[in-house]
Amino acid sequence: MAVQSTELILDELKKLLGEERATSNDTVRDLHGRDESYHAVRPADIVVFPETTDEVSAIVKTAAKHKVPIVPFGLGSSLEGHVIPYNGGITIDFSLMNKILEIREDDFLVRVQPGVTRTQLNKELKKRGLFFSVDPGADATLGGMAATNASGTTTVKYGVMRDQVRDLEVVLADGSVIHTGSLAAKSASGLHLNGLFVGSEGTLGCFTELTLRVYGIPEQIAAARASFPTIDDAVTAVVSIQQAGVPISRVELVDEPSMQQVNRHAGTDYPVKPTLFLEFSGNVAGLRQDIEFTKEIVSDLGCDNLEFEMDQEGMNRLWEARHHLAYSYIHSNPGRKMMVTDVCVPISELAGAVHHARETVDRMGLIGGITGHVGDGNFHIILMIDMNNPEEVKKSEQLNEAIVSYALDRNGTCTGEHGVGVGKLKYQAREHGAALAVMETIKRALDPDHLMNPGKLFSPSKEDA
């Protein structure tokens, strides 16, 4: 934005929100110009801190009047540049909208403002024997998690963020306010706006309130770890367990070189083999039977070391290697920046995809660990890149392209859980084919001036360039 128009708009916003909650202070602008990814930094022009839906609506109307972009901002933990305001405009920081508004225990529902984080919510829920299921690792805001359709290790049992959203209050591009759902557990009424807005990455509107599904804490949790001769055996084990109808609540794969890296870093002596980290939940009698059954299945596949624990300390110990994976790579590679790939393939293609990923990483001489949410077919390469080495940066981009290409050839997706942002834009046409035009039609219809988080999820329009 031109300096003059920035000042004019800031003045208007200060009138609306007061001196304190609308700013172009350099430190604040910088803090809102980055996320947790390797994507280039671009400071915000103006940052505002609304406290109510009405204020968000007024901010969006101001942006619409001046035809400047709106970028919603949670905690900046996104991994594909979602919140970086490459086209400037007004960044809406939701950190002051961080209240848990209502816990409806009998309905298994909570109503929260978008700035509430998942651990903040879980702390309150625990007192009532309830929990919120989606765990993407980072302590992200629930608004951000809904905007990117976050998921994580528990998805195999409880589903992704979209599955938890019962209703959203959304401020649209024209400043009007809608509700996308209701409090009913299911509905066959109207188009499914809940699903459409979840994962829309701020491009269709800003979330100002979320009603989310929560669950009763299971009586008992059991953790297990099992290593296998090959990745294929490990994946086959997971499929067999699921085909037998045994409910798994988490199942993570760590590949052989990554186990070695953990041992080297932590001084541990885990078997250097493809390893599954599992979690089951239910009642004690049922869990014991599930685990006995699981033992039989994995032993047929060459695993002679299934260990399991039911107390918290023992469970933590069993899963330690998985928890330490990213950290062990970060700590062992000071000065390098983390880039994480994020494809998801049909489960039958997962073993092949992990082999391909490992071969490609090694052939290119890159440093990277591989971990996968096996139950979903989603896996990550945690790459450690020297950003000052243009050759290595280029190679890591080529690697990402090769991984995505492999996944798309098998009817998978370029992003299982991190979202498109700016990092996965170039794969949208190939992945969605003719459906991309339908998405663009919807975007144009709901945001004709292309002001809602422009350049994310959808390729920049000509005016943005």
Point out which span in 16-24, 300-308, 355-363, 406-414 binds a second copy (CB under 8 A).
Answer: 406-414
Cβ distance to a second copy smaller for residue 115 or 421:
421
Q: Smallest distance, Å, CB 103 to a second copy?
A: 12
For residues 41 and 185, which CB has a smaller minimum distance to a second copy in the complex? Answer: 185
Sheet containing strand 337-340, strands side by side: 307-309, 220-227, 275-282, 250-254, 367-373, 378-385, 337-340
Q: How many residues sit close enough to a second copy to count as binding (CB under 8 A)?
A: 104
| Residues within window 2-41 making contact with a second copy, judged by CB under 8 A | none
Q: 54 or 320, CB closer to a second copy?
A: 54
Residue pair 133/165 in contact by the 8 Å Cβ criterion:
no
The token duo for 64 is 């619409």
Among 410, 449, 461, 464, binds a second copy (CB under 8 A): 410
**Cα 300 to chain centroid, rounded:** 35
Shortest Å, Cβ 448 to a second copy: 10
User: Coil, strand or helix: which one is 58?
Assistant: helix
Minimum CB distance to a second copy smaller for 161 or for 402 = 161
Task: Please identify, using beta-carbon distances, which residue of 101 and 284 lies nearer to a second copy.
Answer: 284
Among 31, 42, 100, 108, binds a second copy (CB under 8 A): 108
Asked if 371 is part of the footprint of a second copy (rule: CB under 8 A), the reply reads: no
Residue closer to a second copy (CB basis): 319 or 458:
458
| Residue 17: its H or E element | helix 3-17
Tell me: does residue 162 bind a second copy (CB under 8 A). Answer: yes
Q: Segment contacting a second copy (CB under 8 A): 67-75, 188-196, 312-320, 357-365?
A: 188-196
Told to check if 312 binds a second copy by CB under 8 A, we report no
Q: Measured from the CB atom, is 120 or 133 closer to a second copy?
A: 133
Q: Which of 17, 48, 15 is nearest to 32 (CA)?
A: 48
Using rule CB under 8 A, residue 426 touches a second copy: no
**Interaction between residue 194 and a second copy (CB under 8 A):** yes
Indicate the residue among 97 and 168 with the shorter CB distance to a second copy.
168
Tokens, residue 259: 């186990």
Name the 3-class secondary structure at 231. helix
DSSP letters for 136-192: -SS--BHHHHHHTT---TTHHHH--HHHHEEEEEEEETTS-EEE---SSS---SS--
Which residues from 325-364 bind a second copy, rule CB under 8 A?
Answer: 342, 344-348
In sequence order, the 6+-apart residues with CB closer than 8 A to the CB of 334 are none
User: Which of 24, 242, 263, 333 is in the footprint of a second copy by CB under 8 A?
Assistant: 242
- 460 touches a second copy by CB under 8 A: no
Nearest to 228 by CA among 218, 244, 217, 239: 239
Tally of CA atoms within 13 A in the half-sphere of 416 that contains its CB: 31
